[in-house]
Structure 1
Amino acid sequence: MTATHLVTGAGSGIGAVLADRLVERGDELVLLARSTERAHDLRADLPGATVFVADLADADAVARLADQLPERLASVVHAAGVVELGPVSDLSTEAWQEQLAVNLVAPAVLTRLCLPALRATGGTVVFVNSGAGLFAGPQWSAYAASKHGLRALADSLRAEEQGYGVRVTSVYPGRTATPMQQKVHDQEGRTYDAGDWIDPATVADAILHVLDLTPDATISDLTVKPR
């Protein structure tokens, strides 16, 4: 039976590479797009993928997907995310709300919706976290808070779902050469050179390793750092 994977953030960066890898090996994809225009782009880039429109910043929009999701999923990979740096003294309420909504609340809601399909296959949930989910530096408060929360979500979910055979992994990439990393450099006032950082394909391959684990083991946490 062909495996079906739900991937968020498949439009760029790590999620895009992972989606390509899964399609290349003949797996089925379910993707989320924040707009109809973005959905059109994803369908053009990944023919055959099922694409739903739901803005991850809107938990209600995510919840409305409940009746459209497959009955069986081999995995759910949460690769989407947003970042807005700034000191606590300057960060707006909107910046806090968007990062918490997209990086934490949406994964929680979407995972809840997908649990029956994951339990049906003994599937895997992968949360693409960040080094900021382990340590919070200056200017990173809101993003790091969302990622620290994502770590807590994963740890709790892992304990809850063990009896159902669902595996849960948090992946903590260091700085990776993605459009988000370029935005971070712009906000930091630094020159961006993709060659300085992890290739997104390296992280995608690490996620594939997690997805392809034999049933005798699980990887709870995986850190990938630039050399």
Structure 2
Amino acid sequence: MSIPTDKPTALVTGASRGIGRAIAEDLGRDHHIIVAGTSPERVEAAAQSLPSATPLVVDLRDIPAIPAALEQLQLQRLDVLVHNAGVAWLRPVADAQPNEWQEMFTVNLFAVAELTRLTLPLLREARGQVIAVNSGSGYVSRINSAMYSGTKFALRAFTDALREEERGQVRVTSIHPGRVDTDMQVQLQQQMGAETYDGSVYVSPESIARTVRLAVDMDPASTVEELSIRPVAQKR
């Protein structure tokens, strides 16, 4: 497949819906977007909706499949890598099974590390940027969130280390949203026993996309290292 090299290229994981879709649409105004996701139908639909985009179907639970998926793109340029894909569910430590720990860490951390490793040469060449959509849970762990917070604490450690290792070559930004109005939030609220769901009290995916845009549009001598975005009404 042919990817244009005359405009900046951004690879966005989890780009077929929710926060990732909003990021792809915002960056898609002046970037070629590689729309990465697991559902062929959703990925193709998202790519078709953008001015310039390439679909990439990849299951981040399958780490060995990531190099082959990237290889088929024959990437010549990469300016922005947005790690947005993630999984989340609530489980008390007493009930959490080893396979659940493994899946959450694989998607939320191990795949991030592998995708970063594979694309760093192109990102360095472009003096590009890695943006990780983390979470407020990357700072605070609450009841039933040991697994999810564990992955997000680890993701923060990863981005902090990467930032220093690549300082002067690749900019690294960590975005920490609070609760966002997405399908994942609906599921989490159901798990917490909420009888109704009102998405208007949560941060919109478009707001997160605008924070990503802010980081991307900084002048080359500046970097946004970390941003926290929370609903106005959300309590800690």
Please indicate, yes or no, whether the TM-score normalized by the shorter chain is above 0.5: yes
The one-letter amino acid of 2:213's match is L
The one-letter amino acid of 2:176's match is Y
One of 113, 122, 134 as aligned partner of 1:117: 122
Distance of 1:145 and 1:131 partners within structure 2: 12
The one-letter amino acid of 1:195's match is S
One of 7, 11, 14 as aligned partner of 2:12: 7
The one-letter amino acid of 2:43's match is A
The one-letter amino acid of 1:179's match is D
| Corresponding position: 1:131 with 2:159 | no
Go from structure 1 to structure 2 and tell me whether the alpha carbon gap of 1:131 and 1:35 turns closer, same or farther (over 3 Å shift).
Answer: same
| Corresponding position: 1:219 with 2:212 | no
| Corresponding position: 1:33 with 2:37 | yes
TM-score (normalizing by structure 1):
0.94
Equivalent residue runs for 1:78-97 within 5 Å:
78-97=83-102
TM-score (normalizing by structure 2):
0.90
One of 142, 146, 168 as aligned partner of 1:141: 146
Distance of 2:57 and 2:186 partners within structure 1: 26
The one-letter amino acid of 1:208's match is R
Q: What are the ranges of 5 or more consecutive residues in structure 2 without an aligned counterpart?
A: 1-5
- Amino-acid identity (%): 41
| Number of residue-to-residue matches in the alignment | 225
| Corresponding position: 1:76 with 2:81 | yes
Distance of 1:47 and 1:61 partners within structure 2: 28
* 1:159-192 Cα shifts (integer Å, max 9, x gaps): 11114x2000100000111111111101111132
Aligned-residue offset at 1:18? 1.1
Distance of 2:174 and 2:183 partners within structure 1: 21
Larger deviation, residues 57-66 vs 216-225: 57-66
Q: What are the ranges of 5 or more consecutive residues in structure 1 without an aligned counterpart?
A: none
Aligned-residue offset at 1:33? 2.2
Distance of 1:19 and 1:79 partners within structure 2: 10
- 3-state secondary structure, aligned to 1:65: helix
Which consecutive aligned stretches of 4+ in structure 1 deviate over 6 angstroms post-superposition?
A: none
Aligned-residue offset at 1:61? 1.1
CA RMSD of aligned residues (A): 1.5
Partner of 2:63: 59
Native 8 Å contact 1:69 1:114 kept in 2: no
The one-letter amino acid of 1:112's match is R
